[in-house]
Amino acid sequence: MTEATRVLVLNAGSSSVKYQLIDMVDGERLAAGLVEKIGERTGRLVHTPHGAPSREAVQTFPDHSSALKAVAEELAEDGHGLDSPELAAVGHRVVHGGKRFTAPTVITEEVLTEIRRLVPVAPLHNPANITGIEVARSLRPDLPQVAVFDTAFHTTVPEHAARYAIDQKTADQHRVRRYGFHGTSHQYVSRATARLLGKDPAEVNVIVLHLGNGASASAVAGGVCVDTSMGLTPLEGLVMGTRSGDLDPGVIFHLHRVGGLSIDEIDDLLNRRSGLLGLCGDNDMREIIRRKEAGDQDAALAFDAYVHRLRKYLGGYYAVLGRVDAIAFTAGVGENAAPVRAAATAGLEELGIVVDPELNSVRSSSARFISPEHARVAVAVVPTDEELEIAQQAFALVREG
Ligand code: AMP
């Protein structure tokens, strides 16, 4: 009998689906791809089989169902159809697992109902994740479908860090608390950082800075998350590509009452027209650094505001942890933007944080230290791999049976 060692990872967004087929024997990506602009007139599917050129199809994908069927056909063309006996599971990224889902979970009707119940706290994300699950189930009903939650790694955050200081009856009635996001990445990177140090995750305290278009920080003590910067939604915390991160909640009342903006307009402003984009008109850190170096004042302000917020979280989580063994930079900006890493850590020698400019300027896709040898706090660049983490968690769960 063929052994089932492969996991299909699906990350269904509101108008896109990203996927990877991973063989768990050696972690090899057998295929990866993306369908974008689902529901628009012109959609696009890009499918990249392992070791072969990408195939691109420009056509209409009216809904997630048609998109996933097209993905299944692409996989079948490479001999990796969903009917393959080598497929062990589908691992779904699910953004919001609330308080209930603290670990990866095999999806049953009851689990799906609970994920649906969480839609009011994740209206932008959970509906697409649910559709992805439903379609994958319909295509291969006998295959285990596993949900891996973005919030799960943060369910260990203690109540005093997870609660907002508001009336608790009201908070509980509406499930208002800090959940945190990017958990799969924080978990993967904190473990990979321990490995880089040659230690067990239980032995080390790590501050993880996940700096992508969305950005979040977390404080991980001995492998357990004790605080994270995102909250009820992924809007809290760091300055991001298009999201404001922290602000006085009074800004919202002011914009509504005095500015005359509707709640939906404020939602759009803070989630899609703020952050780096709001500060300087660009949300790509490459462009911001280029403009700043050319003397552009708005870009300099955006860069400095981004770094200032980052340093506040770095200092805050240093105090939360008490002892910090490592700081890990990850995701698009964290992995690639040496000037951000340098500015975020500058002048912190008293805290044992030093970055070697030469190591910091090295470009590499491998996990590496950028602090000098024997530094009190190791500073590292650790590429994240959420898909592999989802595949590993899903595979481990179906193996346990
Ligand atoms: P992610 O969400 O992790 O894919 O990160 C995307 C972001 O990473 C982009 O919006 C860029 O701002 C940033 N990024 C990617 N490459 C670079 C680079 N070489 N230098 C600076 N920023 C980068």
- The DSSP string of 288-351 is HHHHHHTT-HHHHHHHHHHHHHHHHHHHHHHHHHSS--EEEEEHHHHHH-HHHHHHHHTT-GGG
Instruction: State yes or no: is 248 an active-site residue.
Output: no
Superfamily grouping for domain 198-386: ATPase, nucleotide binding domain (3.30.420.40)
Domain residue ranges of the chain, discontinuous segments joined by +: 6-149, 198-386
- Rounded CA-CA distance 298/306 in Å is 12
- Banded model confidence at residue 1, pLDDT cuts 50, 70, 90: low
Catalytic residue among 150, 227, 282, 385: 150
pLDDT-derived band at 384, boundaries 50, 70, 90: very high
Do 371 and 355 form a contact (C-beta atoms < 8 A)? yes
Express each pLDDT in 341-377 by its tens digit: 999 999 999 999 999 999 999 999 999 999 999 999 9
Nearest protein CA to atom 4 of ligand 1, as residue:
332
How far, in Å, from the CA of 25 to the mean position of ligand 1?
30
Is there a shared CATH topology between the 6-149 domain and the 198-386 domain?
yes
Q: Whose CA is nearest to atom 17 of ligand 1?
A: 336
Residue type, 95: V
**Cβ–ligand 1 contact at 286 (below 6 Å):** yes
CB 212 within 8 Å of CB 164: no
Which superfamily is assigned to 6-149 in CATH?
ATPase, nucleotide binding domain (3.30.420.40)
Q: Read off the pTM.
A: 0.94
- Which tokens in the block code for residue 227? 């605080």
Cα–Cα distance measured from residue 263 to residue 398, given in angstroms and rounded to the nearest whole number: 43
For ligand 1, whether the C-beta of 271 sits within 6 Å is no
Which of the four pLDDT bands, split at 50, 70 and 90, describes residue 121?
confident
212 CB within 6 A, ligand 1:
yes
Query: Atom 2 of ligand 1 has which residue's CA nearest to it?
Result: 212
**What is the CB neighbour count within 10 angstroms for residue 262?**
10
Examine the pLDDT at 113 and tell me if it is beyond 70: yes
pLDDT of residue 120: 85
Q: With contact defined as beta carbons under 8 Å apart, do 112 and 28 qualify? A: no
- pLDDT tens column, 143-188: 999 999 999 999 999 999 999 999 999 999 999 999 999 999 999 9
Which of 265, 260, 216, 261 is closest to 239 using CA atoms? 216
Q: Could you tell me the pLDDT band of residue 330, with boundaries at 50, 70 and 90?
A: very high
Q: Are 323 and 239 in contact (CB under 8 A)?
A: no
